[in-house]
Structure formats: structure tokens, C-alpha cells
Structure 1
């Protein structure tokens, strides 16, 4: 009798497992819904080609292909569960939002403002998602959708305004440190003088432009590894910007020393790119190290359970 009960329980468990593992079918959409999706995707193809050509080849936007690939992987992983919450969105609200985004897209496309064009296209895509699948689905997919926004370049002017004070502070501290170590170095306005060489602060601190890349990659790591522990994830996210600033400080020191010992040509050539790689590696390894050292805090914020 006991064996029979166990067998019954195991059969029920297998049936439940098959039900959980059953693939979720894509919901049936009307012809007008498919037309909306096809139209927005058709608009997005030239935009994405322009983004790839203009932004993805730069230090500031080089993370784009990686974000696109990992973001689509997140969507593939999480969409099936989210679609169980599907409900039609408000037609007036969603339709109005899509119309505004398409209008902004048209103006930006005509004027050649790729930053606005990219985000307007993405906004129209999100609006269409709201119309077809509803707000609960979008809320369930909030991180993949937010993360995919990093595919598109932010306005250069906004980035310059935000990062300029940080660049000046980094260059001043780098000069102070090397001067204290006995190097013949000084700074004047927008330039750094080391021996007979002059470096522009903007060029030396150009790595700060990749702060968006570092933020995107670190956010992906935190979400995939610790999203179940949101308190700890929030604290770890607060370290991203300081880590990026510290890594750029190391990059500036490295470029100055390369200039001093090997000349300006070396710093502006291969060594400049190598310094950028070092900055990226320092940032990623630093957040890994902080994450590892903060294991007790992670367990405390996770109610005694580690989410590794």
C-alpha cells in the first residue's frame, strides 16, 4: 500500500513536470497586429544599420552588438513565462504613444539625428508590445527591455556635459599622484605636460566615454547572477560608476607613463587601445572581486540564503 502511494505520487510529479516543461505556444495575433509589427520592424532595419555603422565602431558604443545578443537571449529566456500574463493594452494610450514615437522617428530620420531616431524606434516597438501583450507582460520583462535600450547611442552632447567635470577631476588627481612620485609633470587648463610632451585632457580621459559600456555589462552580470536578491543587486549597482571612474583613473596614469617612457606616438597608437582594454578588464574584475568579498552581505540581505 505504501509503495502504491509512492508510485502514485511519482506519477503525479512526472505529469506536473511535463506540464511545466510543455512549450508555451506563441499567442495568435490578428492580421492588423502582424501588420503593425512588420511595419515597425521595417522602419527599424535602416535605423539599426545606421546605429551599427555610426556607433558600434566607437569606444562609446562598442558594447552594442554584445548588448543586443545578450538582451535577445534574456528575452528568449523570460518571454515564455511573461506571456502568461498577456492582456490587451489600452488602445488609445498605446496607439497615441506609438504615433508620437513614429512622429519623432520621422523628424529624426529626416534631420539625421541618429540618437533620437534610435530611441524613437525603440519606443514605438515598446508601444506596440504594450498594445499587443499589455502592461503586465512589459513589467515582467522590465530588465531585458531596459537593458536593450543600451543598444542605442545616447546624445554625445549630453555625455560630454555629464563627464567633463569627472574628466577634469581625474586628470588633476593623476597629475598630483605622479608629481608626488617625482615625475616632471604638470597641468594647465585642458592639457597635461609630462617632460617634453603635451597630452590633451579630453584624449587622456576618452576612456570615460565607455562608462555606458561598462554600466551595461555590469548590469547584465548583476541581473543574471543576483536578480533574485534585489536588495543586494541594488547595492552592487551603486558601485558601477565609482568602479568605472577608478578604472579610467588607472587608464590615464598608464597613458601618461607610456608617453613619458615611450613617446607620444606609442601612447596614441597601439598602446592607447591597449589602455582601453586594461580599463575594461579592471572594471569587470573589480566588480567580480567586490561581489566575491561581499558574500556575507549577500547572504544577510538574502535572508541567509546565497543566490550563487
Structure 2
């Protein structure tokens, strides 16, 4: 009798909870086994470069956030309709087979993500999937952009960053200029690589910012949305700050400084700078309305 009273008090029966534990683990285990080939290929290709180095961090944080989001509303758990998740799962399996045969990392990663969404819907239903929409979408950002898309995106980002970096450098008194897409610093020519301004690295930084916004958003959708939107210019500003700093070091010390540990360290510092700016933005989002009403 006491067990029944407790279950009625919280509005969740013990049977569905036990059913989920029994049925959920095989689905989770199957998904992990399904995604192992994609993770191996990504670790061997996309994650080896500096531009993709943040992807494993995003995968871990977004996965943890997804786990937390799916546990937040146990009363919403309902098995999904097979007519919806089964075609998606079949498409994911075919995509994984094709990606494995072609060695196409982006297709394998996309197929793994689709399989994860289908498995999540099959086990927990559409209501839970909607509450976990943000971490689900962020997991999609781990998928590297196909070369056709990344080539154009990288060109646009490099061009914009080059002009902004030269303008900032001149404002700081540096002897810099644009020379056919490269940045001339004194007698040196610097090329902006994808690690500094590429689409994948920029999206990774934005994803980290959105995850941070989710956790410090205190459940407010407006606050999360505001901080998520601010993560985009903050990521671009962090990349700009890194390039300008490297230009300054090259001007003062010489181009050899780019061959030292300072170059990769600048990426870590720009990441920390972006997180600091996002925390400042979170404080301002709370402080300014409070001051206005105070």
C-alpha cells in the first residue's frame, strides 16, 4: 500500500520506470555499438586537426546534457511510433554502410546522429525528444561539414576575418596589409588557416558557448536563447582576437614564434577568452533588467 501511495503522490508508476530500465539499456547499448565505427573514423580524420579538436569535448558535454535533459521529465516518457522511427533507423543504417564503404566521415557521423535520434524517440517518445531538442541539435554540430560546404564557408570566414584583423591591427599601430588573401606583417606573409577561422572550429566554439548558456540559463528559455545568440559574435570575436595577437607577436618577435607552442596555446587562450565573455554576457543579462526595475 505504501508503494502505491508514493507512486500516486509523484504521478509516476513503478511499472513504466522498470519497463524503461529494461527496454532502454538494450537500445542504448545498440546505439553505442552502432556509432563506434563513426567515432573511430572521426578520431582518425576530423579530430586530428586543430579545427576539429573541440569536437570530442562537444560530444561528451552534449551527451551529458542530453542524459540530464531526458531524466528531467520522467512523466513524459512514452514509446515512440515504429512507423516514424523505423524508416529513420533504416536510412541511418544504409547511410552508415555507404559511409563506411566510401570512407566518408561526415556521412557516417550524420548516420550515427540520425540513429541516435531514432533510438531516443523509440525509447522515450516525442515529448521527451522535444524537451531535449537543444542537446540533440548540438550533437549534430559534431558532424563535420562536407568539403563542398566547408570550402565555401571557410573562404567567407577567412575573408571576413582577414579584413577585420588588418583593420584592427592598423588601429593598434601595426604595419599590416592585405596581400591577395594573405596578411602582410612587416616583411612576412601570414595565411589564416581553418584552425583559426574555419567553419568547423567556429561552429565548435559556438556549440560550447550554447552548452554553457544551457547550463547557466537557469531553465529560462529567453535567457538560454539570448546567450545562445550572443555565443555567435563572441566566437567570431575570440577568433579575431587570436589572429590579431599572433599578428602582433609576429611583428615584434618574428615569424618563428608561430612555430613554437605559442601558436596552439593561443587557441586555448582564445577559447578561455570566449568563455569569459559568455559568462560576462550571462551576468549582464541578469544585471541590466534587475537594475532597470530597481
Which position in structure 1 is the counterpart of 2:221?
230
Report the CA distance shift for 1:230/1:207 in structure 2 as closer, same or farther (over 3 A): same
CA shift at 1:223, angstroms?
0.9
Which position in structure 2 is the counterpart of 1:124?
115
The RMSD of aligned alpha carbons is 3.3
CA shift at 1:115, angstroms?
0.8
- Check whether the contact 1:67–1:148 (CA below 8 A) recurs between aligned residues: yes
| Correspondence for 2:124 among 133, 142, 161 | 133
Distance in 2 (alpha carbons) for counterparts of 1:151 and 1:260: 36
Distance in 1 (alpha carbons) for counterparts of 2:186 and 2:66: 53
Q: Is the counterpart of residue 143 in structure 1 residue 134 in structure 2? A: yes
CA shift at 1:285, angstroms?
0.8
Distance in 2 (alpha carbons) for counterparts of 1:228 and 1:40: 29
Distance in 2 (alpha carbons) for counterparts of 1:130 and 1:276: 37
Which position in structure 1 is the counterpart of 2:170?
179
The runs of 5 or more residues in structure 2 that have no matched partner are 1-5
For the pair shown, which has the larger CA radius of gyration, 1 or 2? 1
CA shift at 1:58, angstroms?
2.5
The TM-score with structure 1 as length reference comes to: 0.80
Report the CA distance shift for 1:263/1:105 in structure 2 as closer, same or farther (over 3 A): same
Distance in 1 (alpha carbons) for counterparts of 2:88 and 2:109: 16
- Check whether the contact 2:213–2:224 (CA below 8 A) recurs between aligned residues: yes
Distance in 2 (alpha carbons) for counterparts of 1:113 and 1:296: 47
The runs of 5 or more residues in structure 1 that have no matched partner are 1-14
The TM-score with structure 2 as length reference comes to: 0.83
Report the CA distance shift for 1:25/1:179 in structure 2 as closer, same or farther (over 3 A): same
CA shift at 1:110, angstroms?
0.7
CA shift at 1:209, angstroms?
4.5
| Correspondence for 2:20 among 27, 42, 45 | 27
Report the CA distance shift for 1:225/1:127 in structure 2 as closer, same or farther (over 3 A): same
